[in-house]
Structure 1
Amino acid sequence: MLLLGGTAEARELAAALAGETRVVTSLAGRVANPRLPVGEVRVGGFGGPDGLARWLTEHGVRAVIDATHPFAERIGTSAVAAAGRAGVPLLRLQRPGWQPREGDDWRWADTLEHAATLLGDLGERIFLTSGRQGLAAFAACTRQWFLARCVDPPGPPLPPRIHVLLDRGPYPLEKERALLAEHRIDVLVTKDSGGTMTAAKLTAARERGIPVVVVRRPPRPESPTVPDVPSALAWLRHRMTP
């Protein structure tokens, strides 16, 4: 099977299938030193839907699970098209999105560019947790000061007043509390990634009473979807049984 990975769920799924069936995990290659899953790993693109369809056929793939990040819309769209052309069943493994709780002050944005326009008078010191590839959307924000947390160093364009913090999750609540206090953060900007690995920042923001700008997930093509690894395992084992 082909596992489109890069998430904690993908690594958990690959580990659960070790010794049970041949799994090839595909990584986009955008992170310099990614956390590698158990088993075979392929790094890099396929050449669009046509290239992926050929790869599925040439390698005799019997099932595809798309367990990529909720914002990896390009590979998700290509996977649905390619699996359809190759006649291979595909499942989307997507963790549920975050939901606001009592005491939260959330502002929803459709894109990162939209999020930048919402900053307005919300605050002066912004904690950006949208990833290094999204920082360009805030390059024209000259009034605010930004703390941007990334796994790898970002390239230009960047906001003129920015401090980049290189770090990798998970991020415990105490660490998030200390970070917001140390940098006097008064606005948090994040994507609706879901899951628990990076959710502590939302709790820390709620405790401090600061607004959070949350970017909605991009639309995905319709496909069978499950919310967790056990459900994906059940789906796969049903299809891989001789």
Structure 2
Amino acid sequence: MTAPPRRRSFFRVVAALAASALVAQCAPAQAESIVKLPAAAVDPAVKAKRATAVLAGGCFWGVEGVFSHVKGVISVESGYHGGSAATAKYELTHDGRSGHAEAVRIVYDPSQVSYGTLLRVLFSVVADPTLKNRQGPDVGSQYRAAIVPLDAVQRQVATSYLAQIGKGKYFARPIVVPVESYKRFYPAEPSHQDFMRRNPSNGYIVRWDAPKLAALKRLFPAIVRAAPAP
């Protein structure tokens, strides 16, 4: 039976509350993962009015919420990537066996924001690139951070940027983010779309995702939209 959205939100809150019991352990890791990384050294201009990126960075609520506030982003959609159509459902991804990652599909204007800038935002304020199969209080391969290039240029930028931030030693641990081959992106259920904007008082959002949006505004004010993209 499919759990109703309210129950799923409750499970998120429970996870956040459980994590708060280990706040002395979790807080330093959270603070360490928010760092203003350098711009991508390899980031060729794309001559197109629109481009698409598929990225994963843990729970898609916060990933979508942050990227919807980036200038040049036209739309952001939460969904699943890595598994089959049969398992592209919220309740079927939580045993870690579906192959799916909670991901977002970003449509953006390359003349306003580059692919490299999207990666810079992802690893500066959204996801800790040193964590494997987890982010924040969420554990499992469905919460992995991952880059999913849609063409050869995106793959070049992705591999170059991971090498760049790894050599720069901006993090205490090694970079473990995979660059995955694109399969198919499956949109998530309507209850998960635009979740952060619609539920600003949700316990999980307040504890784990609102700080990411605040960090975006603090570290990259020049690329923050006045109003979020749809």
**If the length of structure 2 is used for normalisation, what is the TM-score?**
0.29
Structure with bigger helix share is 2
Structure with the bigger RCO (C-alpha within 8 Å, sep 6+) is 2
Which structure features the higher share of strand residues? 1
